[in-house]
Chains A and B, each alone.
Chain A
Amino acid sequence: MSAPPRTPQSQPPDFSAWVDQHGDYLYKYAIFRLRDGSAAEDCVQETFLAALKAYRGFEGRGSERTWLVGILKHKVTDHFRRVTREAPIGETEGEQFEHNEFFTRTDEWTNHWNADHAPSEWHATPEELVERTDFWNVLNNCLSPLPTRTASAFTLREVDGLTSEQICEALNITVNNLWVMLHRARLHLRNCLEINWFTKETTN
């Protein structure tokens, strides 16, 4: 075997120690994006197996963790490709998240905001919100009711910053599908975050 990366004279690394060191981290990464525990476990397992095979190619560039996350990203995308080939996303998936009730009015202004659901002013900057320790939990909870793939599309777009083309390819959808999914996710999330980040504070 050629020289392992970080400790050139030593044995190849103890992979079971890697599982203990990085397993939780990789699993959290995967489950947040896949929203499915067993799929996330499979991806983490495939990542470690691929790391074992590819170890010689790693050559100590950067940290192990970054390297493993890089492999995991591909495994997550492969997973999406596989499931969306088996069960393509239909137009009606997540239709209830059009949130028609937000725009239902009894007066002549139907399809305009209903005052009970309309946005209110937030008085917040990204810096203040980033400081919040419950940030990921609130976001994760707000994503939970959405259809799995709608939530995943939003995460890939906003958290990972993938382009529309990359997401369409991974999810096997048209760009119009994607825009509808992102719109539903945003409409739902904005309302959910307003309730959780803003309304609660003022009523407390």
Chain B
Amino acid sequence: MTLSAYQRFKHAIRWWLLRRLPTCKQTVKVISESMERRLSLRERVTVKLHLWICLWCVWYLEHLQLMRDTIRSKASQEPNLESSSLPPLSSEARERIKLSLSQQRD
């Protein structure tokens, strides 16, 4: 009984907060900027509060960090995408480059 009253209280607080805090749409933009600059105190507090009540945005933040960490560590192992199926240099371009090199040397 007390638990359920507590749950209802918590729910009410969350609802009340979410009504007053920046929306998810605004928050994801600030989350992205947090990877580029130091947030203001006000931004840090509102994002923290938003994350306290919104699991989707928590995951959003986690995913951005995971993307950054993964890309950076992959890029340090293999900076030039050898394993990718990006197209190779076409044979015409290859010949053109060789030609311009030989002209340059003469």
Contact = CB atoms under 8 A, between A and B. Distances in A.
Interface of A: 15-16, 19-20, 23-29, 31-32, 37, 41, 44-45, 48-49, 52-53, 69, 102-103, 109-113, 118-122, 124-127, 129-130, 133, 135-137, 139-140, 158-161, 164, 178-179, 182-183, 186-187, 189-190, 193-194
A130 B102 contact: no
Contacts of B104: 49, 52-53
Contact of A122 (B57, B59, B78, B89): B59
Contact of B83 (A69, A133, A179): A133
Nearest to B27: A112
A23 B87 contact: no
Contacts of B70: 126, 129-130, 135
Nearest to B30: A183
Most chain A CB inside 10 Å of its own CB: which residue of B62, B78, B87 = B87
Contacts of B105: 15, 52
25 contacts: A15-B98, A15-B101, A15-B102, A19-B101, A24-B88, A27-B87, A27-B88, A28-B81, A37-B87, A44-B97, A48-B101, A52-B101, A53-B104, A111-B25, A111-B26, A130-B70, A136-B74, A136-B84, A140-B84, A161-B72, A161-B75, A164-B36, A179-B36, A190-B64, A193-B63
B17 interface: no
Contacts of A186: 32, 64, 67
Interface residues of B, number: 54
A27 B89 contact: yes
Interface in B39-85: 54, 56-57, 59-60, 62-64, 66-75, 77-85
B85 to A, nearest CB: 6
A160 B26 contact: no
B23 A190 contact: no
4 cross-chain pairs, A with B, having the tightest CB-CB distances, nearest first: A136-B84, A111-B23, A119-B59, A27-B89
Contacts of B63: 119, 122, 190, 193-194
B77 to A, nearest CB: 7
Given A15-B105, A45-B96, A112 B74 contact: no
Given A28-B80, A186-B32, A44 B100 contact: no
Contacts of A37: 87
Contact of A29 (B23, B32, B74, B80): B80
Contacts of A69: 79-80
A182 B30 CA distance: 11
Given A23-B97, A28-B81, A48-B97, A158 B71 contact: yes
